[in-house]
Amino acid sequence: MRRILGFLLLLATTSSTAVARDIFVDNLAGDDRHGGQTSVGQGVEGGPCRTIGKALRIAQRGDRIIVANTGEPYRECLSVQAAHHSGSDAFPFQIIGNGATLDGTVSLVDAHWEHFRGDIHRTRPARMSYQQLFVAGAPAPRKSPQPGQPIELAPGEWALLEGWLYFCCEKDRLPGNYDLSCCLHPVGITLYEVHDVIIENLTIRGFYLDGVNCHDQVTRSDLINVRSEYNGRSGFSIGGASRVRVDSCSAGGNGAAQFRTEGFSITQLLDNQFDPASAPAIVREGGEIVDGQ
């Protein structure tokens, strides 16, 4: 009898931990005092979380974070790491974006600009190694002068050189007359030491390093239909000893590479679109790339 009771107790415990939860996030209607059990508010305690970060803090193995696409960007920098953000074959840990946007920019409305020459002004952003500049949320056209060369910009163009961000205004206008923003947060989503993770249907933009960085020991994990654009360094970076599949993703407008690998990583690429207009489609600094079949 004791053996039967012990077996039943073990079975009940295993079954309860195997059932994944859905955690709902809504950056307009949500509240981080909620536990995310439902997609709509239910009184004082029930309803979605307001931030993806809160959902990650309360998430456990195999949970699904379901993000509402409200039309308003989620201005967060996310970290997916350790055992509680991992899953299994039956219950992968998932972030389902529903087409929502993760945005890493900050307004330059209070930045200190100094006059440089003609209609060109400059400021020192908080992040100086990689950057992007946006005007009313849209990427501004960029020029890339080399050190020692004169900075020549047409109205609306910008450049980053030796830690200075240069912007050329239209005649009789100043930087304060524009809705300017630049990158603030380093990485949209960092994955580290996790397994059986799926991230899908998100747009990630405006981070000064990478949109997605699988830093190390990320295994049996998939990036599906993720759009990563206008980040300072790359759209996707896979490094360390990670093993990742990138499926039906796109990258464009990133500063140094659309997709990059390093270390001893192995990445499987399947049906992706990496636009080389602003930077090489793929940059390998180590790692191995295999075509998906």
Q: Would you write out the chain's pLDDT as a tens digit for each of its 293 residues? A: 444 444 444 444 444 445 789 999 999 999 999 999 999 987 666 899 999 999 999 999 999 999 999 999 999 999 999 999 999 999 999 999 999 999 999 999 999 999 999 999 999 998 888 999 999 999 999 998 888 888 999 999 999 999 999 999 999 999 999 999 999 999 999 999 999 999 999 999 999 999 999 999 999 999 999 999 999 999 999 999 999 999 999 999 999 999 999 999 999 999 999 999 999 999 999 999 998 65
**Residue type, position 43, single letter:** G
Tell me if 218 sits within 8 A of 94, measured CB to CB: no
Residue with tokens 């389902």: 96
Q: Which residues contact 152 (CB under 8 A, 6 or more apart)?
A: 143, 145
User: What pTM was estimated for this model as a whole?
Assistant: 0.90
Coil/strand/helix, residue 225: coil
- Residues 94-129: pLDDT tens digits? 999 999 999 999 999 999 999 999 999 999 998 888
pLDDT, position 22: 97
- Cα-to-chain-centroid distance, residue 215: 13
The pLDDT, as a whole number, for residue 128 is: 80
Torsion of CA 267, 268, 271, 276, to 10 degrees: 30
Tokens coding 37: 């059990």
| Six-digit token string for 114 | 């100094």
Task: Give bridge partners of residue 27 from the DSSP assignment.
Answer: none
Structure confidence by residue, pLDDT tens digits, 252-277 = 999 999 999 999 999 999 999 999 99
Report the alpha-carbon distance of residue 102 to residue 72 in Å, rounded. Answer: 9
> Distance between CA atoms of 201 and 25, rounded to whole angstroms?
15
d(CA 234, CA 285): 13
DSSP 176: G
